[in-house]
Structure 1
Amino acid sequence: MPRAKLIVRIPESLWIHEVSTAHPDVTFRVTSVLPGPDVAIGVIELSASNPVPILAAIEDRDDVRDLELLWTHDETALLQVETSDPSLLAPMQRAGVPIETPFEVEDGVVTWELTTSSDRLSALGSSLDEHDVGYRIKYVHDVDAGRAEQLLTDRQLEVFLTALDSGYYEVPREATLTDVASTLDVSKSTCSDVLHRAEGTIAHWFAEEHVAPASRDR
């Protein structure tokens, strides 16, 4: 069961491309989305010192049917946007790949994390190609979820996957232990302890399953 991260370039014709590229330092965090054949409704969280110009830019777009400001606090605003052009989500629907939220849009690029079958992931790639949507695959991990759940506690699995997805295991590292702890809203020492236990469990399982006894005895 593959788990993948895709970096997708949003078509320039869509409102979110224009608005996000006009405000490249703002992260648009889509917390929920309801796609349809000719409409899509999304709840979006953004942080900006002055969100008014961003709201005006969204409302000014012809492909935005409706914009509601749900709430605002300090520099954070929560919006509900209804668009008449759901083409960005169409490849996901056609491939039968569930849309995982939250996902983020920054400077004309959306990052999707997906868990689906190999066939559906391949179909998604083909569908993106057919729609001429540029993308790159950040990673694909073949994860046996059932086995992982047996190996690790729920907390260990959460911490390990957060570290994995954040780039903690990339070379060079894209995230520090402090970054992972901050994402999970726990102390660095707690994060380190849970992650160390998870890594130890996975290492022992790998050695038992994939390393010959003679090699382990050296």
Structure 2
Amino acid sequence: MPRAKLTVHLPESLWIREISTAYPDATFRVSSVLPGADVAIGVVELAASNPVPILAAIDDRSDVRDLELLWKHDETALLHIETTDPSLLVPIQRAGVSMETPFAVEDGVVTWELTTSADRLSALGDAFDERGIDYRLEYVRAVDADRAEDLMTNRQLEVFLTALDAGYYDVPRDATLTDVAAALDVTKSTCSDVLHRAESAILRWFADEYVGSRARAR
């Protein structure tokens, strides 16, 4: 079963997107959330140098039905918020993925870590695509019943994501191995070796989790 990290660019219609981009230095840490059909209720910790104008901006939003200040101390405030727009949570519910808290929202971007099956992770990506929600898969790590092991080392992940961003895996390719090596300031042979190890880890995970699960289901 994989554990994944996603960064999701929030839809412009959401209150937290507009407020967090208006105050990019603020951090919204969601400690709990209760989604519904037409409402979402959450407890949010706001960290900012001056929370007062941010609280006023949230309270002015038409899609925020209720805002309650639970406590405030210096640069931190704990809020109970009820919003009438739970649209970001719909893809998660549709894919059947459990939401893990806490998670942070900064400058219009939310970071989520999820532990789920490969099929549900794929369904979540499809649900985001259907709604035009921009997201990026930061990593996928293999998780077994006894212990969690990284699918890739940090270095392998860095090289793989650099190659992916550069267009090395596009069809046709937009970048060569030499381009990727230059972006990382390493030799071509070193880049090739690290990238090959990363690709091997990904393919082995895919074979075990996806191909293997299909074979077992037959």
State whether TM-score is above 0.5: yes
Q: Which amino acid aligns with 1:24?
A: P
| Aligned residue in 1 for 2:119 | 119
Deviations 1:110-156 (A, max 9, x none): 00100001111111000001111000100111211x131xxxxxxxx
Matched, 1:84 2:95: no
1:168–1:20 Cα change, 3 Å: farther
Aligned 8 A contact 2:6 2:111 in 1: yes
Q: Which amino acid aligns with 1:90?
A: V
Q: Distance in 1 between matches of 2:93 and 2:155?
A: 31
Q: Structure 2 matches for 1:63-142, cutoff 5 A? A: 63-142=63-142
Q: Distance in 2 between matches of 1:103 and 1:130?
A: 23
Q: Distance in 1 between matches of 2:22 and 2:130?
A: 27
| Aligned residue in 1 for 2:4 | 4
Q: Distance in 2 between matches of 1:34 and 1:85?
A: 12
Q: Which amino acid aligns with 2:146?
A: R
Matched, 1:17 2:17: yes
Helix, strand or coil for the counterpart of 1:49?
A: coil
| Aligned residue in 2 for 1:36 | 36
Q: Which amino acid aligns with 1:62?
A: S
Q: Distance in 2 between matches of 1:9 and 1:140?
A: 19
Q: Distance in 2 between matches of 1:82 and 1:168?
A: 41
TM-fit CA distance, 1:47: 1.4
Helix, strand or coil for the counterpart of 2:88?
A: coil
1:168–1:106 Cα change, 3 Å: farther
Aligned 8 A contact 2:139 2:157 in 1: no
| Aligned residue in 2 for 1:147 | 146
Helix, strand or coil for the counterpart of 2:43?
A: strand
TM-fit CA distance, 1:49: 2.2
Given the two structures, how large is their TM-score scaled by the length of structure 2? 0.68
Give 4+ residue runs of structure 1 displaced > 4 Å after superposition. 167-172
Aligned 8 A contact 2:71 2:79 in 1: yes
1:61–1:139 Cα change, 3 Å: same
Q: Which amino acid aligns with 1:19?
A: I
Deviations 1:28-69 (A, max 9, x none): 000000001100001110112211110011011111000000
Helix, strand or coil for the counterpart of 1:20?
A: helix
Helix, strand or coil for the counterpart of 2:45?
A: strand
TM-fit CA distance, 1:169: 8.1
Q: Structure 2 matches for 1:184-195, cutoff 5 A? A: none
Given the two structures, how large is their TM-score scaled by the length of structure 1? 0.68
Name which of structure 1's ranges 42-51 and 89-98 shifts more when overlaid on structure 2.
Answer: 42-51
| Aligned residue in 2 for 1:54 | 54
Identity fraction in percent: 70
Q: Distance in 2 between matches of 1:34 and 1:168?
A: 37
CA RMSD in angstroms, aligned pairs only: 2.1
TM-fit CA distance, 1:109: 0.4
Q: Give the gaps of 5 or more residues in structure 2.
A: 160-218
Q: Give the gaps of 5 or more residues in structure 1.
A: 149-156, 173-218
